[in-house]
Amino acid sequence: MPIIRVEMLKGRTVEQKRALAEKLTDDFVETCGGNKSSINVIITEIDADDWAIGAELISDRGK
Beta strand 40-46 with 3-9 is parallel
Q: Quick one: how many helices (H) and strands (E) in the chain?
A: 1, 4
6 is a catalytic site residue: no
**One of 2, 27, 40, 60 is an active-site residue; which one?**
2
CA distance 39 to 2: 5
Q: Which residues are catalytic?
A: 2
